[in-house]
Structures are given as C-alpha cells and as structure tokens.
Amino acid sequence: MTEAVAGNGKLELDRAGLEATLRPLERASMLPPAAYAEPAILDWEIEHLFGGWVCLGHASAIAAPGSWLMREIGPTSVFAMTGADGEVRAFLNACRHRGARLVESTEGAVRRRIQCPYHAWSYDLDGSLVAAPHMDGVEDFDHACNGLIGVRSALVGGLVLVDLGGEAPDPGEHVGELLGRLEHWRVGELERAGGTVYDVAANWKAIAENYNECLHCPGVHPELNRLSDYRSGDTQHGDGNWCGGSMTLNEGAETMGTGDGHAGHRPAIAGLDEREVTSVYYFTLFPNALVSLHPDYVMLHTLWPRDVDRTEVTCEWFFEPETVARDDFDPSDAIDFWDMVNRQDWHVCELAQMGIRAKGFLAGRFSSHEGDVHRFDSLVAERYLEALG
Ligand code: FES
Ligand SMILES: [Fe+2]
C-alpha cells in the first residue's frame, strides 16, 4: 500500500507509487490515493504546481483599461489588470499599507485608480501608489517603493496566465504547441456569452482526470454520447504542459448543444477546416485550465482548489463577436447542454472522491482508453518526483 504523509511544506509521497504512474499506460497505476486526500499534499501543490503558470481566465475579461480579473490561488489573491497603456499587469490583491484586499469581486473595472477600501490609499492602473493620505512626515516613506506588488503575468493564446513564484519557464514554453490550436480557433478574439461557477466536492485532479476521458460518457452523459461517440477522435501530442485530444461529432450534429447539436444560425469559427468543424477538441493546460474547442464556440473551465476535497470550477462560453452581435444570437443550447454535462461530471467526481479517501484504498489501473488521463497524472507525478529529489 502506498503510504503518504506530508509536513513542514516538504512533500512525502511513496516514490514507488509515483514511478508506477510513470510506467507505460498498460503497466501504469494512477496517482497514490493520498494525493487526493491529504491536506498537506494540496498545500504543496498550491505552493509548487499553482505557484507556476496558472490560467486566471480569458483575455476578454480585461480587454478595457482599468478592468481586472481576480482569483484566489490558495491563500493568495491575485488580480490582472489592463493599464491605460494597454499593457496587462498582475498584482497581489493586497494594499501596501495594512494589506487589505483591494478588489473584492472576481471581475470589475475602475476608470483611473484602484482605491483601497480601508484607508483610501490609491494606485494607478500600472500599480504605482498615487495617494497615501496621512503619510506626510513619515520618515523614509517613498511612494515609488510602495506600489502594488507585481506578479509575473502573460497573455498567451487569449488566456491570462500568472506565475506567482516568478520562476516558471517562459510562458511560450509552458503552453508549447497548444498555442497553435488556441490561435487557430482565435480564442483571444472571442467574446464571452455566459459563465457560471460550481462548487465541487472533489480534488482538483479528479476533475481534470474526468475531463480527460470519455469512457464514462455512455453511462453518465447519454445526451453527449448521442452527439459524439465516446471512442471517436484521437489523442494529440506536442511540446508543452498540456494534454488532450479530439472527439468526432456524429452525422447530423453540428456542435455540442441541446436540440440534437444544431448550431442554429451560428456559423463555424472562421478558418476551421472540414475535420475541425466536425470535431470537438478537449485540452488541459496544466494545471488548471480545460479548454474545449468546438466548431462554433470555445468553453473554458478553470479549476480553483479550495481544499483537498473541494474545488471551485468556473465555466465560461466564448463566441465570435460577429456571431454575438447577430439579432438572433442565442447561446443557451450550448450553455444549457454543458451545464447539464458539468453537473453529471461533478456527481461522478464526487463519488470518486468519496471512495478514494477510504482508508486502505489502493491506486487503480488505467484503461487502454485513458491515455490522456495518464498523461495528466504523469505531469503531476513528474513534479512530485522532482520534489522528492
Ligand atoms: S490597508 Fe489599504 S489604505 Fe490602509
Ligand atoms: Fe464527463
């Protein structure tokens, strides 16, 4: 049995169990159960996996100067904001006076300045401190040294990424060859037409694993399985910290949606080829972004661990601006469909979470159709093993 204990910020996981995950698929085992159940392991993951490049969300949320996108990465609240110069910057969401959170909602906008709700220090859109009331006469207080604390950020393929630790490899290297797919679907130019947040009683990795296979589709998602066969499509490969592949739409289905997958008056995203308009591509950008490329829209899930057995999941839908502008634009078929599928998924993820935490549970084996789950688990296992040294 795989024993695992972690403490003092040091990862302690059974090496043999992790090496078993990294074997070829047909001989591999899933991650050690402790990885889904031990709070100290999540603490380590927040520090090390979520301390590198993490996807905050989609670029459209911060398209206008002064608009921000705020997320909580473990105990750290961070926000990305576009400056008056059009540059995207990210900051710790903490006032330099006594640390108060500056922005309290996940999205919003200011015209010229961010003002602290506590004692009204205010900051320019580039993070510099512009006013600090009642600080006259304070010795060695330099406004220039008291701007917001910056966080490394990047805009890649329409996704807003932050690197809390500041030492992750180049963001282009992180996204790797997935960037070509994101650009081909023009993800960065799309407009959001819906979004929702779920609270799921499962470990974040269990949710990513669920996303990476469709073996459960016939039983869990009969509606989805009617639109694309669970055995269809292929696994895609390329450089970068991602995994995923395609599924093929059945004859007569134009997209994933209620109403038998008819896209209605929504044209396909411009520039997609014949195969692409009859497929859906499901990609996981490690660690927390699930990007689903449909013929006529893109869906983005981001995973936010709140506890070892609890994850907040955001789900958003993006369409071409010209499509959104049409009088007859209606995204509800796509949104309602995936909301139903999401809830079906959360239920089975929660069931898996309940079983995996049972004392005495042993790591399971992968089916030969779970290559993408194996790739995801391998990305995690590699990081665990690096930490074990
Ligand atoms: S904590 Fe922000 S002004 Fe005091
Ligand atoms: Fe599913």
CA 323 to mean position of chain CA atoms: 25
Nearest CA to ligand 1 atom 3: 119
pLDDT at 293 over 50: yes
Residue 32 lies in a domain: no
Q: CA-to-CA distance for 37 and 40, rounded, in angstroms?
A: 9
Q: CA-to-CA distance for 122 and 114, rounded, in angstroms?
A: 6
For the CA atoms of 87, 90, 96, 101, the dihedral, rounded to the nearest 10 degrees, stands at 120
Q: Is the CB of 119 under 6 A from ligand 1?
A: yes
- 307 and 363 share a domain? yes
Q: CA-to-CA distance for 35 and 260, rounded, in angstroms?
A: 39
pLDDT at 9: 65
- 316 and 199 share a domain? yes
- 101 and 181 share a domain? no
Helices 371-388 and 204-211, packing angle to 10 deg: 150
Residue 38 lies in a domain: no
Nearest CA to ligand 1 atom 4: 119
pLDDT at 5: 46
- 240 and 112 share a domain? no
- 245 and 351 share a domain? yes
- 213 and 305 share a domain? yes
Distance from Cα 102 to the centre of ligand 1, integer Å: 9
Residue 20 lies in a domain: no
Q: Domain ends where: 167, 199, 231?
A: 167
Q: Domain ends where: 167, 183, 206?
A: 167
Over residues 353-365, mean pLDDT: 95
Pocket test for ligand 1, best of 93, 119, 130, 141 (most atoms within 8 A of CB): 119
| Other CB atoms within 10 A of residue 54 CB | 24
Q: What is the CATH classification number for the domain harbouring 348? A: 3.90.380.10
Ligand nearest to the CA of 120: 1
Higher local confidence (pLDDT), 149 or 10: 149
pLDDT at 389: 86
Beta strand ranges found along the chain (DSSP E): 53-58, 67-73, 76-82, 88-92, 107-109, 113-115, 122-124, 129-131, 150-156, 159-163, 191-200, 242-248, 279-285, 289-293, 298-307, 310-319
Q: What is the CATH classification number for the domain harbouring 61? A: 2.102.10.10
pLDDT at 8: 61
The Cα-based distances of 103 to 13, 31, 145, 260, 294 in angstroms read 37, 37, 21, 42, 33
List pLDDT tens digits, range 8-49: 667 889 999 999 999 999 999 999 999 999 999 999 999 999
The Cα-based distances of 202 to 102, 207, 299, 309, 364 in angstroms read 30, 7, 21, 4, 17
Q: Is the CB of 92 under 6 A from ligand 1?
A: no
The length of the chain, given as a count of residues: 389
pLDDT at 11: 87
Over residues 332-349, mean pLDDT: 98
- 238 and 121 share a domain? no
Residue 39 lies in a domain: no
Percent of the chain, pLDDT > 90?
A: 93
Residue 280 lies in a domain: yes
How many domains does the chain divide into? Answer: 2
Q: CA-to-CA distance for 53 and 179, rounded, in angstroms?
A: 14
- 331 and 191 share a domain? yes
Mean pLDDT of the chain: 95
Residue 41 lies in a domain: no
Nearest CA to ligand 1 atom 1: 98
Among 353, 75, 345, 47, which Cα is nearest to 203's?
353
- 194 and 336 share a domain? yes
Task: Identify the domain containing residue 66 by its residue range.
Answer: 55-167
Kindly indicate the confidence band of residue 170, based on its pLDDT and cuts at 50, 70 and 90.
very high
Ligand nearest to the CA of 221: 2
pLDDT at 262: 87
List pLDDT tens digits, range 250-259: 999 999 999 8
Ligand nearest to the CA of 343: 2
**Both tokens assigned to 73:** 């990465």
Q: Is the CB of 134 under 6 A from ligand 1?
A: no
Q: Domain ends where: 118, 135, 167?
A: 167
